[in-house]
Amino acid sequence: NAGVMQNPRHLVRRRGQEARLRCSPMKGHSHVYWYRQLPEEGLKFMVYLQKENIIDESGMPKERFSAEFPKEGPSILRIQQVVRGDSAAYFCASSTRGFVTGELFFGEGSRLTVL
Amino acid sequence: KNEVEQSPQNLTAQEGEFITINCSYSVGISALHWLQQHPGGGIVSLFMLSSGKKKHGRLIATINIQEKHSSLHITASHPRDSAVYICAVGDYQLIWGAGTKLIIKP
């Protein structure tokens, strides 16, 4: 049973480009969470998704950021028109349960560098 | 005052020593997580606790809900235990502690 898979592990973008980060949850997990870790800081919640639904996006910037978790395929975190401040590690976690927190399983993270 | 406080911030010990990392929180919680982040940056969930005590190999985690305090213990520490250990509380939004950087010297 593969763990949470994130790709790419490292992504370099120039200012103004788009970044797409993918997360495949563990098999049988239907709850996906995205977190961002800025350099030298702790993780911050961004968005919680279930298949085809955004449950809570209160931690996600209103502009340029979007997330989806389609019926088929991985969850995608999309950042449009990236800026240097978007440089961070983006972690995805999945669980079998939602609101009553099930054990979280994390991916290795995707490290975005904006030049 | 931070909602989740960890101590110590940094800990260096010799191989074989018994390690304790503490976490105090000020908010009501549904669960408390202990996580490990290695220098490469990957995060591993060690424990999720809502009461009592859990043990996994050389790791033991305890929580006292009344005192709003949790501890992570490592017995017979080993250099491969060197990592940042993070306490996080709450539901999926998770309020994260600042982490404890642990270095185990051979």
Q: What local confidence, expressed as pLDDT, does residue A78 receive?
A: 98
| CB atoms A100 and B30 under 8 Å | yes
- The per-residue pLDDT for A43 is 86
pLDDT of residue B94: 82
Query: Which residue in chain B is spatially nearest to A59 when comparing CA positions?
Result: B93
The Cβ-side half-sphere exposure at B9, using a 13 Å CA radius, reads: 1
Pairing of strands B100-105, B10-14: parallel
pLDDT recorded at residue A102: 62
Sign of CA dihedral B52, B88, B26, A58: negative
- Adjacent-strand bridge partners of B87: B34
| DSSP structure string for chain B | --SEEEE-SEEEEETT--EEEEEEE-S--S-EEEEEE-TT--EEEEEEESSEEEEETTEEEEEETTTTEEEEEESS--GGG-EEEEEEESSTT-EEP--EEEEEE-
Say whether A89 and B41 touch across the interface (CB within 8 A).
Answer: yes
Please list every residue in chain A whose beta carbon sits closer than 8 Å to the beta carbon of residue B38: none
Q: Which of B49, B61, B22 is CA-nearest to residue A103?
A: B49
CA distance A44 to A69: 19
Give the one of B40, B43, B93 whose C-beta lies nearest to A45's C-beta. Answer: B93
**So what's the pLDDT on residue A80?**
97
Kindly determine whether residue B43 and residue A101, on different chains, have CB atoms separated by under 8 Å. no
B23 min Cα distance to partner chain A (Å): 15
The CA distance from A111 to the nearest CA of chain B, in Å, is 9
Provide block-wise average pLDDT over 10 residues at a time, chain A (115 residues): 87 97 92 90 90 93 95 95 96 78 82 96
Mutate to test the interface with A, among B5, B23, B25, B43 (most CBs of A within 10 A): B43
Write down the pLDDT at residue A15: 97
Residue with tokens 């709850």: A31
CB atoms A105 and B31 under 8 Å:
no
Alpha-carbon distance of B103 to B106, in angstroms, equals: 10
Return the closest-CA partner of residue B76 out of B94, B97, B58, B54.
Answer: B58
pLDDT in tens, chain B (106 residues): 678 999 999 999 999 999 999 999 998 777 899 999 987 778 888 998 888 999 999 999 999 999 999 999 999 999 999 999 999 998 778 888 989 999 999 9
State residue B30's pLDDT score. Answer: 77
Of B43, B45, B99, the CB nearest to A103: B45
Cα A92 vs. chain centroid, distance in angstroms? 5
Nearest residue of chain A to residue B96 (CA atoms) = A42
